[in-house]
């Protein structure tokens, strides 16, 4: 057995996903999920991270960043320890941890592009006693890439089919799409918001962290004039490679782009329904641009939203739509497993084929290794 741990905290900043995987390279590449858990952030830290992401903080921003970097790392350590307890494993059993960290800013298109994930790998390695690979995205950016999305490399490795074209859609805070065609390099990019706008809107109006089963959205109706303005955003018509984040698609963006319409004049559930339509429309249009029929597999939290799935089925009547569990991996754990696999590649000093996705000038060995 070759055991690797994968860790990631997504744009919703609600919890750390942790997985323990058995990864083999020969005779055929394989990955098996052995254990998994979701480790929630304390509400106070979650709010600090959300505020910091919106440049809302108390005191010196460098001090605040340093404190959050340390705190997030400590919670990643706790997630690892819980996972080891659950699996009845010791640190010596683990080859390495692949820690994505917590993204607090992603600016791939600025004059000086950068992306920042916190959760100090030194602390994770020192306190778990396990070699840790972290800081995956910046090497890709150093070679001119977007630094995202990275999931398409995992999708290609474990979801591609030798005979059929497939689309894999990750519905996290931001949605990304991967086209897998037999004998061809994958195509992949961020399509825009998946859950982030809906999550923030329902929290603002009902103090719920997400819209359970899309029920609130289903109680509303699409507002055509608002949807039209949202779809006018230039991001949706940009060619790949492209990536984005919650620093772009947020409630400030929603209010700004919907001007001069005043959202307060509409029922809040109608706005929620319109945001769901925005996600469904931008995902579906991205798929239709590349394949007019075929297999679509959903992963990420949005895969559990029946209202969103129903709308995608309506917009893609010639496609079969399932979630990634049909391919052997539950939708909740695909991203964390991606970084366990990335860690295995880094330890083996193998480059990851992402240049066709991110636009980097070359494929790179990603991540920095922190020895325990």
- CA 137-24-340 angle, to 5 degrees, is 30
15 assigned to a ligand binding site:
yes
CA 255, 261, 264, 269 torsion-angle sign: negative
Task: Quote the crossing angle between the two packed helices 268-290 and 224-231, to the nearest 10°.
Answer: 50
Q: What is the H or E stretch that residue 169 is in?
A: strand 166-171
- Give the tokens for residue 13: 């900043």
16 assigned to a ligand binding site:
yes
Output Rg (C-alpha) for the chain, integer angstroms: 20
**Contact criterion met (CB below 8 Å) for 280 and 308:** yes
13 assigned to a ligand binding site:
yes
Burial class (CB in 10 A: 0-12, 13-18, 19+), 83: buried
12 assigned to a ligand binding site:
yes
14 assigned to a ligand binding site:
yes
Q: Which residues lie below 8 Å from residue 43, measured CB to CB, with a gap of 6+?
A: none
Total count of residues recorded for the chain: 372
Task: Looking at the chain, list the stretches that DSSP marks H as alpha helix, in order from N- to C-terminal side.
Answer: 43-53, 61-87, 121-128, 137-142, 151-159, 196-206, 215-218, 224-231, 251-257, 268-290, 306-315, 334-347, 355-358
Please name which of 193, 169, 165, 170 lies closest in space to residue 290, comparing C-alpha atoms.
165
* Cβ-based neighbour number of residue 124 at 10 Å: 28
Q: Which residue has the tokens 């949005």?
A: 302
10 assigned to a ligand binding site:
yes
Residues making up the binding site for ATP: 10-17
Residues making up the binding site: 10-17
């Amino acid at each position: 057995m070759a055991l690797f741990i994968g860790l990631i905290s997504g744009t919703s900043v609600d919890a750390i996903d942790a997985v323990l995987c058995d990864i083999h390279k020969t005779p055929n590449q394989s990955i098996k999920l052995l254990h998994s858990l979701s480790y929630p952030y304390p509400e106070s830290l979650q709010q600090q991270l959300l505020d910091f992401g919106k440049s809302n903080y108390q005191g010196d921003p460098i001090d605040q960043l340093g404190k959050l970097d340390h705190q997030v790392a400590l919670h990643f350590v706790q997630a690892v320890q819980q996972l080891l307890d659950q699996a009845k494993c010791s640190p010596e059993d683990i080859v390495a941890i692949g820690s994505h960290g917590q993204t607090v800013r992603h600016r791939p298109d600025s004059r000086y592009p950068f992306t920042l994930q916190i959760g100090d790998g030194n602390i994770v390695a020192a306190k778990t006693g396990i070699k840790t690979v972290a800081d995956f995205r910046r090497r890709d950016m150093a070679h001119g890439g977007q630094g995202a999305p990275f999931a398409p490399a995992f999708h290609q490795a474990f979801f591609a089919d030798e005979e059929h074209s497939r689309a894999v859609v990750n519905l996290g805070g931001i949605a990304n799409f991967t086209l897998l065609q037999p004998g061809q390099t994958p195509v992949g990019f961020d399509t825009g918001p998946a859950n982030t706008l809906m999550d923030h809107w329902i929290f603002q109006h009902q103090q719920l962290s997400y819209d359970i089963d899309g029920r609130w959205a289903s109680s509303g109706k699409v507002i055509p004039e608002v949807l039209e303005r949202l779809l006018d955003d230039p991001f949706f018509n940009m060619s790949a490679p492209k990536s984005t984040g919650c620093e772009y698609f947020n409630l400030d963006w929603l209010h700004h782009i919907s001007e001069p319409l005043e959202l307060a004049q509409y029922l809040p559930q109608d706005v929620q329904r319109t945001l769901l339509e925005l996600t469904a429309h931008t995902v579906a249009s991205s798929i239709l641009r590349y394949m007019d029929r075929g297999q679509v597999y959903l992963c990420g939290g949005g895969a559990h939203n029946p209202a969103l799935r129903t709308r995608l089925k309506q917009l893609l009547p010639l496609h079969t739509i399932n979630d990634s569990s049909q391919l052997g991996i539950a939708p909740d754990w695909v991203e964390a497993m991606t970084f366990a696999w990335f860690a295995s590649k880094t330890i083996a000093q193998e480059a990851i084929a992402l240049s066709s996705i991110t636009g980097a000038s070359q494929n790179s060995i990603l991540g920095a290794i922190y020895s325990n």
